[in-house]
Structure 1
Amino acid sequence: MTDDPNAPKHSNALTYWIAGAIVAAIALALLWPNVAMHFEIGGELFLRSLKMIVVPLVFTSVMCGILGLGDVRRLGKPGAAAIGYYFCTTVLAVLVGLVVVNIIRPGVGTVDPARLEQLDKGAEEPKHVLRRTLAEESGLTEAEVADVFGEIPSAADDVPSTSTILKNLALMLVTDNLFQAAAETELLPIIVFTICFGALLTTMPRRTRTLTTLVSEANDALLAFVMILMKISPLGIFCLVTARFGQAQAEGKFLQEIQQIGWYFATVLIGLAIHAFIVLPLIFWIVRRENPYRYAVAMSQALLTAFSTASSSATLPVTLECAKSAGISKRSSDFVIPLGATINMDGTALYEAAAAIFIAQVIGMDLTLSQQAIVAVTATLAAIGAAGIPEAGLVTMLIVLSAVGLPLEYIGLILSVDWLLDRFRTAVNVFGDSVGAAVVAVTIPEDGASGQSADPQVQVSSTAG
């Protein structure tokens, strides 16, 4: 990792405080769940504070990343490297999920037949269960959930085909109302607009010097705001975790469900662990020839925040700050991490593939190799289209199930434990984004200078001079 003297310094003490807050929160939730649930307001305030700066920070950070390249033609190699990395790691994550679930076979003889009969006779359609769950977990109203995800399908026949998914993914790149996209935190069209606008500015440096200076200074101010939020993050994270674990403990269903589908829960965690501790570190080491676990420690604040918030979008400000403090060039982190938080969902892809095979095992349906290949492809596409809010993977899970003809009502098997698995897979998503920034950084030219050349003001001055 390169040493950038302008990078914010990483605080080990803050990491220890955050880790301690999570442990204390879980302990309080287990001992006094009714008390723990009253901390919800503090957690919600902290989460909203993070989300409040996501859109302006994405705009300024991506803009700085593009302007830092100096010449728009230099975007090609880093851009191709980023997209290639996202695709490869997502496919690898899906393959890890498929291998692990086929070896452990968590759905064979583990679920009580009475539970399956209850799902078969369920009076409530999957879309109503999902909409309510998403509203509870994300803090949105059911109407807002419908706006974010559209109409949740009620049967396999209603689930879009692969061609429709690809069409929708293409349409997600561009919005007809940029302000509406910002209001709804739809980051992908904002990133596409920012990349295009920033690329245009690099072609006219003399006339846009004031604008580039404004963007750079706004980005610095927003990162300073992030640093202030990080100082209070142990308290906010304590409230977030306490309230959520307290709610699960108060309902009294979580431990019962773990006993029923504990092997599934363990299978997903094992798959996530393999991807996070073996696959991603191996890629990091192959490309950079540096210790990947030291880098993971440097990213620990972002990973703990991702576990606490279960939202890669909300964690984005912290991820950017940690990557820069770890020595990753500003140009790479500003460009790669916001884009990755939107389309790079390794943990989600792994979970969706494993969950689909688990459900097939539970109902005694043997999926052929070609059907499992369909699951792999569909899980990859669905993960790219998943929104960066808690439990978004549950909606895209419907697409994966329908691709191989699995009944949608059996998604109810995993609902009760999904909120906790969501935290682990979000942490994997965030770590995948940060590794991507480190990998793509090696493709970005240094212009004969250090990381300081990433400053768009420097680039404008040298180009205009």
Structure 2
Amino acid sequence: MKKLGLVPKLIIAIILGIIIGNIFPAPIVRIFVTFNSIFSNFLDFAIPFIIIGFVVAGIADLGQGAGKLLGITTAISYGSTLVAGFLAYIVSTNIFPLFIHTSNVLSKAANPEDKLLKAFFEVEIPPLMNVMTALILAFLLGLGISAIKGRTLYNAASEFQQIMEKTISRVIIPLLPIHILGIFANMAYAGEVARILSVFWKVFLIVIATHFVTILIQFSIASAVGKKSLPRMIKNQIPGYITAIGTQSSAATIPVNLKVAENNGVSQGIREFVIPLCATIHLSGSAITLTSCAIAVMMLNGIPFTLSQMFGFIAMLGITMVAAPGVPGGAVMAALGVIQSVLHFTDAQIALMIALYITQDSFGTACNISGDNAIAVIVDTIHKPVK
């Protein structure tokens, strides 16, 4: 099992959860529900620290760059992330209603206390601060460290980021399949899981299609700005795209992506600055996946949402996912605070969101790093190479 990737583990967990929920008696299911209760409370406790760990270091790192080049790259990356998120919003709100009907709505599953089984006992782990406090503190510290160039606080923020990376990679991610198993076992016991699965695969296909459209748009713009061949740029990107699917990590794909940028004719100074930076701050694929999955979960649970609410959600995603850990599912973990504070998801809804996101995480990463090379071409065209 250790050699299996996270996605296969999650698929196995979902299958086992459905089997357990349909076959085993309530006391067995409640064992997993009890684990879920403890794990969810721990996750609630950890979310503010995850936000502080990654946002502080991420914003502080942006202040260490090369002035105008940093500003141009950051602006294009954030703009690309926003556009991708709104494209996902348009696609989701127009296509999802075609297959998520009133009969699909999990009205009772939205409130676990109504129909889902309860834990044998609960362990309260109150967060030291709420999500909004953590966000404001992270922005304040990150901008402050960047402004005063404080090395002591910068080193502390970097080390705290490493602690949270270890917490995610060594604790949260390994336990996540058990958490998902428990959620699906509980929903299968409550008779709700069939509706979820009937929606999951359709959402998956639409998200992947939106990724491809986004990549095509990004490379079309880069081709027009940089006066380069669109088919050749897309062909050059294939090794980077496949590597990202295999590794599920933007950071691990940087060496391959640098070679792609070289093949696209991007100057050395630009590609060596833009590609590693965009691996951290350009998250168009993740924005598409998170926005689409959030809308699917809200529609499944009959939760109303507005354009202004989703605008705030997408705008915050582009900031909170900065320096998201280079592990599978890192972006959704970094975004949990926004999901909670803006969309007000319950623990069951967050678990569905995580399951939906991670099954598509590799494709989101591949979309992210493909867009990095489009940005590199654009920046190389409008900015003099760094010597």
User: What's the TM-score bracket when you normalise by the shorter of the two chains?
Assistant: 0.5 to 0.7
Measured on the aligned residues, the alpha-carbon RMSD in Å equals 3.9
**1:321 aligns to what?**
259
- Structure 1 residue 402 corresponds to structure 2 residue 340: yes
**2:132 aligns to what?**
160
**1:386 aligns to what?**
324
Counterpart amino acid of residue 116 in structure 1: A
Q: What does the per-residue CA deviation read over 1:56-81, in whole Å, with 9 as the maximum and x for residues that have no partner?
A: xxxxxx9xxx9xxxxx9xx5443332
Identity of aligned residues (%): 21
- Given that residues 375 and 403 in structure 1 are in contact (C-alpha distance below 8 angstroms), is that contact kept between their aligned partners in structure 2? no
1:398 positional shift: 1.8
**2:222 aligns to what?**
284
Q: What does the per-residue CA deviation read over 1:291-333, in whole Å, with 9 as the maximum and x for residues that have no partner?
A: 2331121122111100101000111122112211332110110
Counterpart amino acid of residue 96 in structure 1: L
User: 5 Å matches for 1:17-96?
Assistant: 75-96=66-87
Cα distance in structure 2, aligned partners of 1:317 and 1:84? 24
Q: What does the per-residue CA deviation read over 1:385-412, in whole Å, with 9 as the maximum and x for residues that have no partner?
A: 5223210122133223223342232022
Counterpart amino acid of residue 328 in structure 1: V
Cα distance in structure 2, aligned partners of 1:400 and 1:425? 19
Cα distance in structure 2, aligned partners of 1:432 and 1:350? 13
1:111 positional shift: 4.2
Residues 306 and 388 (structure 1), Cα distance of their counterparts in 2 relative to 1, 3 Å cut: same
Counterpart amino acid of residue 326 in structure 1: N
Q: What does the per-residue CA deviation read over 1:355-403, in whole Å, with 9 as the maximum and x for residues that have no partner?
A: 2222221221221222122222222222325223210122133223223
Residues 83 and 114 (structure 1), Cα distance of their counterparts in 2 relative to 1, 3 Å cut: closer
**2:350 aligns to what?**
411
Counterpart amino acid of residue 84 in structure 2: A
User: 5 Å matches for 1:65-464?
Assistant: 75-105=66-96, 107-109=100-102, 111=104, 113=106, 116=109, 121=116, 158-161=130-133, 162-167=135-140, 169-170=142-143, 176=152, 181=158, 258-278=197-217, 280-409=218-347, 410-445=349-384
Secondary structure of the corresponding residue to residue 384 of structure 1: coil
Structure of larger gyration radius: 1
Cα distance in structure 1, aligned partners of 2:71 and 2:304? 38
1:416 positional shift: 3.5
1:337 positional shift: 0.7
Q: What does the per-residue CA deviation read over 1:394-451, in whole Å, with 9 as the maximum and x for residues that have no partner?
A: 21332232233422320222433433300000001101111111111113336xxxxx
- Given that residues 110 and 346 in structure 2 are in contact (C-alpha distance below 8 angstroms), is that contact kept between their aligned partners in structure 1? no
- Given that residues 298 and 322 in structure 1 are in contact (C-alpha distance below 8 angstroms), is that contact kept between their aligned partners in structure 2? yes
Q: What TM-score do you get using the length of structure 2 for normalisation?
A: 0.62
Residues 78 and 305 (structure 1), Cα distance of their counterparts in 2 relative to 1, 3 Å cut: same
Q: What does the per-residue CA deviation read over 1:178-199, in whole Å, with 9 as the maximum and x for residues that have no partner?
A: 599489779xxxxxxxxxxxxx
Residues 358 and 300 (structure 1), Cα distance of their counterparts in 2 relative to 1, 3 Å cut: same
- Given that residues 159 and 399 in structure 1 are in contact (C-alpha distance below 8 angstroms), is that contact kept between their aligned partners in structure 2? yes
Cα distance in structure 2, aligned partners of 1:320 and 1:182? 27
Q: What TM-score do you get using the length of structure 1 for normalisation?
A: 0.53
Question: Which runs of 5 or more residues in structure 2 are unaligned?
Answer: 13-60, 164-179, 186-192
- How many residues align? The count is 287
**1:231 aligns to what?**
none
Residues 405 and 93 (structure 1), Cα distance of their counterparts in 2 relative to 1, 3 Å cut: closer
- Pick which of 322-331 and 112-121 moved more: 112-121
Residues 306 and 100 (structure 1), Cα distance of their counterparts in 2 relative to 1, 3 Å cut: same
Cα distance in structure 2, aligned partners of 1:164 and 1:358? 31
Secondary structure of the corresponding residue to residue 160 of structure 1: helix
Residues 316 and 263 (structure 1), Cα distance of their counterparts in 2 relative to 1, 3 Å cut: same
Q: What does the per-residue CA deviation read over 1:204-253, in whole Å, with 9 as the maximum and x for residues that have no partner?
A: xxxxxxxxxxxxxxxxxxxxxxxxxxxxxxxxxxxxxxxxxxxx9xxx99
